[in-house]
Structure 1
Amino acid sequence: MSNTAQLRVLSIDIGGSNIKATVLDDKGALLMEYKKVETPQPADPANVVIAIKKLSSQFSGFNKISVGFPGYVRDSIVKTAPNLDNAAWVNFDLGKKLEEVLGFDTRVVNDADMAGLGVVAGKGLELVLTLGTGFGTALLLNGKLLPHLEVGQSPATKTKSYDKFIGEAAFEKEGKRKWNTRMKKVLNNMQTLFNYDYLYIGGGNSRELTFKLDKNIKLVTNQDGIKGGVRLWSDELTATKVVPSSTIK
């Protein structure tokens, strides 16, 4: 095959319940249908890597890998994983491990950061929130990621972090009405804290919002967010030789 094949990215989203993936072209369009596997329990590095290997075997034709991870990530190395098996992940080089196991160049970022790359317009200061197992945030200026802040782990009240205040467990415990009341407070806090130009809200629980949103707030889908995987490789207009995933051992 040609050594100047177009960029084809296996984009993976690791969540507390499922690990999802698809293949994207160099413009972020889906080339294959989404597939998913359950996030293993315990969700330690060894089990998650096995699950990703199983999932990736269902795809072919990609030449790069992007991963959105639910925690703080620096240079593809996981620093925290509050909604997985946290202690086991500290300083785990997930990017390097997946390159060894799958045989493709890999970049790993926080999952909200990857979603942000997929949904923003690239103009001004844009904030992305993901409402799921926890509370994810990404901040971008003119389409460029700013240093990641783990807002979900910071205090929302005297006793609760944002993860605990409006995460999935809080939704299940408090109910939809009270959760929405809390979300109004959270959105007010985010406006005050970041003074953003535009806000995007995604994640599974975004569909549970019942109150009217400001004109500069938009709901987005997980499918939109996973498209950010190709933008992690925007510095590469062409990719190396394509190796079918069937060669993965």
Structure 2
Amino acid sequence: MKVLVIDIGGSNIKILATGQPERIKIPSGRDFTPEQMVPLVKEASKDWDYEAISIGFPGVVKHGKIVANPINMGIGWTGFDFESAFGCKVKIINDAAMQALGSYEGGKLLFMGFGTGLGTAMIFEDVILPLEGGHLPFKLGTFESHVGNDALKKLGKTRWKELVYQTIAHFQHCFQPDEIVLGGGNSKLLEEIPPYCRLGSNKNAFTGGFRLWEKSFRS
């Protein structure tokens, strides 16, 4: 099956289709809506051949449906009919869960994505478990408010890294994974990788999007 994968982020939309050598980036932003996204994706992918779409969405997805608008983007995502808009079959999954799926090599995996916010998800065998761990209370805020992109800019790299390592330790102790994959653009700022962790790659989001159509995963 030829699949178009759409990885939605607070700063950019990234797309890639089966057999294509390079992804395409499309700027998004805080007021970005699905009505704006669809024509931009169609135009960018007009020369690509695909029959189904996987969407990684930065928010809560239940049973393949978006149930809340994202914090860092515009409104109108809940209830939007992507299949009618694109004219093909569409599967929607939380963006961290899609990266986790693309990173999965077996056992009990925890994914932590350090980017605009903190994306978290777990996979065990064929079960995908999206988490909203970034919104758990931490110090005088949440984990996300301490390790997200705004915190990096406000606190500086040194203090931000200290809080990231604390966050990883808390999540490791709580969820007891076999392995933690550290993803998101800001994970590259970590000079030392903690035990039981490995760096992921944003490319894994596309691998996860393709895998959604290869076998049946439960979420």
Compared with structure 1, are the counterparts of its residues 55 and 153 closer, same or farther at alpha carbon in structure 2 (3 Å cutoff)?
farther
TM-score after normalising by structure 2: 0.91
Q: Does 1:76 align with 2:64?
A: yes
Classify 1:47/1:31 alpha carbon distance in 2 versus 1 (closer, same or farther; 3 Å).
closer
User: AA paired with 1:106?
Assistant: V
* Counterpart for residue 176 of structure 2: 195
The alignment covers a number of residue pairs equal to 215
Counterpart of 1:54, as a letter, is E
Deviations 1:98-150 (A, max 9, x none): 2112211000110000011101102x21101111001001101124313x221
Shift of 1:8: 1.0
Q: How far 1:38 moved relative to its partner? A: 0.3
1:204 is aligned to 185
| C-alpha contact (below 8 Å) 1:14/1:70 kept by paired residues | yes
More strand, by proportion: 2
Residues 212 and 77 from structure 1, CA distance in 2 versus in 1: closer, same or farther, beyond 3 angstroms?
Answer: closer
TM-score, reference length from structure 1: 0.81
Q: RMSD in angstroms over aligned alpha carbons?
A: 1.7
State the match for 1:93 in structure 2.
79
Name stretches of at least 5 consecutive residues in structure 1 with no aligned partner. Answer: 1-6, 25-29, 237-249
| Secondary structure of residue in 1 paired with 2:98 | helix
The one of 140, 149, 159 aligned to 2:123: 140
Q: Is the 8 A contact 1:117 1:143 kept in 2?
A: no
What is the match of residue 108 of structure 1? 92
- Which structure 2 residues correspond to residues 1-249 of structure 1 after superposition, within 5 A? 7-24=1-18, 30-40=19-29, 42-57=31-46, 59-80=47-68, 81-85=70-74, 88-89=76-77, 92-94=78-80, 97-122=81-106, 124-146=107-129, 148-157=130-139, 159-214=140-195, 216-235=196-215
Identity %, equivalent residues: 33
**Residue 200 of structure 1: CA displacement?**
0.4
SS of the equivalent of 1:113 reads helix
The answer as to whether partners of 2:10 and 2:30 remain within 8 angstroms in 1 is: no
Structure 2 residue identity aligned to 1:120: Y
Letter in 2 for 1:108: I
**CA distance in structure 1 between the aligned counterparts of 2:211 and 2:89, rounded to whole angstroms:** 14
- For 1:245, the equivalent position in structure 2 comes to none
Structure 2 equivalent of residue 239 of structure 1: none
CA distance in 2, matches of 1:51, 1:73: 23
Deviations 1:18-65 (A, max 9, x none): 0001112xxxxx5331111101551133223333333332x4221110
Work out which structure has the larger RCO, using CA pairs closer than 8 Å and 6 or more positions apart in sequence.
Answer: 1
Retained in 2: the 8 A contact 1:10–1:21? Answer: yes
Q: 8 Å contact 2:54–2:90 — kept in the other structure?
A: yes
Rg larger for? 1
| 1:234 Cα deviation after fit | 2.0
SS of match in other structure, 1:82: coil
Aligned-partner Cα distance in 2 for 1:41–1:165? 20
Deviates more, 1:33-42 or 1:180-189: 33-42
Q: Matches of 1:77 and 1:93 in 2, distance apart?
A: 8
SS in 1 for 2:137: coil
